[in-house]
C-alpha cells in the first residue's frame, strides 16, 4: 500500500479491542485457513496514501498539531460483515457513516492528503462522497487473495457474532451486551502507520489518544 495511513484504533481497554484482535489473529484463521492472510492490528482506516514528506518535520509533532475531535464526538458503530474482491478489503466490518466518523476521516484526509489544512474543503468533500460510495469506513477482519462467496460470508458473520461482536444488522439480541459496548466504541487512538512497508512491519511511528 503506497505511502502512510492514519488509523483509528479502539481504546486499548475497550472490549472490542481484544475481541477484534482475537478474530484477526486466531479465530478466523483457525476457522477459515484458506481465506485468511497476514494479521494486523484492529483499526478503522481514516485515510491512506499520505506522502511521508508531509510529516518529515517529525511524525509525533505533526500528529499532535492536528485538532482532532473529542473522544465523545467520535462514535464507531459496527453495521455488518462485508466483502470486496480486493486484498485489503477481503472481509471487513462496515461502519456507519455518521457525523463523527465522517468528520475525523475528513480531517485526516484534508491534513494528510488533500493539502487543505485543518478544514474539510471541496477536494476532501468530493473524496468523502466517493469513499462512501466505494466502501466507506470499515474495520478490516481479513486480508487475502481468495474470494468469499455468500455462504462463507454468512459463516464468517456468524463466527464474528459468536465471538461477542454485536452487529447493527443482526436480529439477534445479545443478552451479554447490556452496556452496548460490543457494537462499537467511542474515541480511540489515532495511529500514523507507514503502510508502504511489508504488513508484518506495520507499526505506528506516532500515536495520539483522543481526549
Low pLDDT (below 50) residues in the chain: 173, 175-176, 178
Closest among 95, 101, 97 to 77, alpha carbons compared: 95
Overall pTM surpassing 0.85 (yes/no): yes
* Active-site amino acid positions: 43, 138
Q: What are phi and psi of 123, to 5 degrees?
A: -65, -45
Q: What are phi and psi of 133, to 5 degrees?
A: -70, -35
3-state helix, strand, coil in the chain (%, to 5): 40, 20, 40
Put the strands of the sheet holding 91-95 in their side by side order: 184-186, 75-82, 91-95, 138-142, 44-50, 4-9, 189-193, 206-209
Contact between 136 and 95 under an 8 Å Cβ cutoff? The reply is yes
pLDDT, tens only, 108-162: 999 999 999 999 999 999 999 999 999 999 999 999 999 999 999 999 999 999 9
| CATH for 4-209 (3.10.105.10, 3.90.79.10, 3.40.50.720, 3.90.1140.10) | 3.90.1140.10
Between helix 99-109 and helix 122-134 the angle, nearest 10°, is 120
Listed by start position, the domains of the chain span 4-209
Integer Cα distance of 27 and 10 in angstroms: 19
Amino acid at each position: 500500500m503506497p505511502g502512510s495511513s492514519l488509523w483509528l484504533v479502539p481504546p486499548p481497554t475497550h472490549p472490542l479491542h481484544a475481541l477484534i484482535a482475537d478474530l484477526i489473529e486466531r479465530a478466523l484463521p483457525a476457522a477459515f485457513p484458506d481465506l485468511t492472510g497476514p494479521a494486523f492490528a484492529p483499526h478503522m482506516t481514516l485515510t491512506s496514501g499520505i506522502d511521508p514528506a508531509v510529516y518529515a518535520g517529525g511524525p509525533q509533532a505533526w500528529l499532535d498539531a492536528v485538532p482532532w475531535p473529542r473522544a465523545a464526538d467520535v462514535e464507531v458503530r459496527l453495521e455488518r460483515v462485508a466483502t470486496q474482491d480486493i486484498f485489503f478489503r477481503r472481509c471487513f466490518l462496515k461502519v456507519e457513516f455518521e457525523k463523527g466518523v465522517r468528520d475525523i476521516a475528513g480531517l485526516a484526509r484534508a491534513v494528510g492528503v488533500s493539502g487543505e489544512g485543518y478544514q474539510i474543503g471541496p477536494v476532501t468533500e468530493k473524496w468523502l462522497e466517493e469513499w462512501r460510495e466505494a466502501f466507506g469506513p470499515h474495520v478490516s477482519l481479513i486480508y487475502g487473495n481468495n474470494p468469499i462467496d455468500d455462504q462463507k460470508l454468512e459463516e464468517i458473520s456468524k463466527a464474528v457474532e459468536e465471538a461477542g461482536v454485536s452487529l447493527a444488522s443482526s436480529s439477534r439480541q445479545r443478552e451479554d451486551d447490556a452496556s452496548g459496548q460490543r457494537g462499537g466504541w467511542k474515541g480511540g487512538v489515532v495511529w500514523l502507520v507507514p503502510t508502504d512497508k511489508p504488513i508484518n512491519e506495520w507499526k505506528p511511528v506516532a500515536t495520539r489518544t483522543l481526549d
